Structure 1
């Protein structure tokens, strides 16, 4: 079990200690449920009121907090409680799943595939012809990487993921369980003889560096050219991204959202959970789509839209208020 003194944690956070305790911290907890061996986090005033009744040994608080640590307990004052929480949780992160051998004997790797140094490949993995896996890639059991794929250094792919042919994954990317990268796009053309004719999708998916893709996410390959996910994007579980979408750098897409084909997101766009974006819509840099919204037309850079159909948030909120007044 990992244990740290308050001094060690404070030094790690570049914080200031208020109060004194010699006890060791062995995990983290919420203010209401924390035990005397745990650290907790009080990010704003509404949480600070919980401190007197909390059993936590130490709390991370804003640098301007006037809380009293109390006897035998301590506060660590920092510039950003949320960022400090990330740093502390990293300290207590469990040891990564251990590989007995770098490449499990049951993995099937085509003879033409190139595998970099210190790359780890788990049981039941398939790596197809012409694939390139750079150094220090980690592929957990039962992942499929089909022919011609490239996976950059430091990338981690969790169990059950399927990466279809000719897709490219950047550096230090994390793909969680059961994601599907590069499935066919959803496209059919009406035909008087055959009914619906499937549109071949001969492009691929290109994912940038430092991207995180949640569990059961589906990112479809392009009809031609590439579906692109920019550097440092964070995509939550159960998100659908259609063919030929272009997602700019540093975008956040929350769970159960869907982007239809050929949607373009600028840099730093935030899509709230359960939102739907119509095909060929462009959402400008820094725009925000509120949760559960349906976007059917372009959104200007920096705007916040909300509702179904989505309008500027100020307009939607006025509509909702007027409906409430009529009731």
Structure 2
């Protein structure tokens, strides 16, 4: 198990070290759960009250907070405790599962596929016809990559993920367990006789940019025609649905249980809160935020925050909730 002195940790963070501890630090932990060999984090004044009772030997705190150290514990002041926490978690991050052999003998790899240098392909994987894997791609056991798909360098794909035919995946992406890329979009129309539904063929593909991370059990559907697109740097939580022909700009965030209907367009840096739903053919412009649980039925202007169902300007919606609460008390 890795362990570090407080000085070694501060060498990484380059913060202001106040006080000292001789205790070797063996990992990070929450304030109330920490033991004497842990470092903890305080990013808000509301958590200061828990420091006195915490057993942690050290804490990383925002530099605008005032906390007195004691004789045996240390504080490291930084500009942003959350970002500092990410660096500490990286220090203590355990190694990834080990591959005993780069390409497992049970993997099925089509003779026409191209496998880059340093790729690792786990047990029971399938790599189809004319697939191209860049250098350093990792496919954990039971991943399927179907025909004519291209995957960029250093992308990691966890078990159970299925990438359908003709998709294009960028470099340095991470797909967690059971992600679905390129399944058919949801397209049906009533039949002429009105007695059934006609399936609309979905002949497009999915294009995913670089440094995209997609959480477990999320789905990105292929386009009816052209492409469903996820831009560079997007981060998608677990259990998220991205429907056919949607286009996401760069560095968008979608929290768990949220979903885009067909042909939704997101600008750069859009944030979609958990369980929010976006109506088809809607545009949410760059820098906008959709609050958790909201239902967006119309376009959202750049930089605007919307909330509620149906979603509207967050300030207006909060005012309505205040009025309704007052009415309920009468």
Q: TM-score, normalised by structure 1?
A: 0.98
1:159 matched residue in structure 2: 159
Classify the secondary structure of the residue corresponding to 1:182: strand
1:1-327 correspondence to structure 2 within 5 Å: 1-193=1-193, 195-327=196-328
Question: Residue by residue, what CA displacement relative to the aligned partner does 1:276-306 show, whole Å, maximum 9, x if unpaired?
Answer: 1110000011011111011111111111111
SS of match in other structure, 1:84? helix
Cα offset, 1:325, TM superposition: 1.5
Matches of 2:111 and 2:10, distance apart in 1: 51
Which runs of 5 or more structure 1 residues have no equivalent in the other structure? Answer: none
Matched residues in 2 for 1:64 and 1:255: separation? Answer: 31
Aligned residues: 327
Deviation at 1:49, TM superposition (A): 1.9
CA distance in structure 2 between the aligned counterparts of 1:96 and 1:292, rounded to whole angstroms? 35
Shift of 1:127: 0.3
Tell me the CA shift for residue 73 of structure 1. 1.3
Q: CA deviation at 1:192?
A: 2.2
Q: Which moved more, 1:69-78 or 1:283-292?
A: 69-78
With 87-96 and 310-319 compared, the bigger mean Cα shift is at 310-319
Deviations 1:192-237 (A, max 9, x none): 2462111001100000000010100011000111000000000010
Secondary structure class of the residue paired with 1:75: strand
Q: Over the residues paired in the alignment, what is the CA RMSD in angstroms?
A: 1.0
- Hey, which bits of structure 1, 4+ residues long, moved more than 6 A? none
Distance 1:65 1:257, change over 3 A: closer
SS of alignment partner, residue 4 of structure 1: coil
Higher mean C-alpha deviation, range 311-320 or range 174-183: 311-320
Deviation larger for 311-320 or 99-108: 311-320
Give the SS at the match of 1:326: helix
Deviation at 1:7, TM superposition (A): 0.6
CA distance in 1, matches of 2:118, 2:192: 55
Residues in 1 aligned to 2:264 and 2:58: alpha-carbon distance in whole angstroms: 47
Structure 1 residue 99, shift from structure 2 partner: 0.3
TM-score normalised by the chain length of structure 2: 0.97
Deviation, structure 1 residue 22: 1.9
Partner Cα distance (1:218, 1:226) in 2: 15
In 1: Cα distance, 2:69 partner to 2:21 partner: 10
Q: Alpha-carbon deviation of 1:63? A: 2.5
In 2, Cα distance between the equivalents of 1:119 and 1:277?
Answer: 38
- 1:21 deviates by 1.8
TM-fit CA distance, 1:47: 1.3
Displacement after TM superposition at 1:71 (Å): 1.4
Which structure 2 residue ranges, 5 or more long, are not aligned?
none
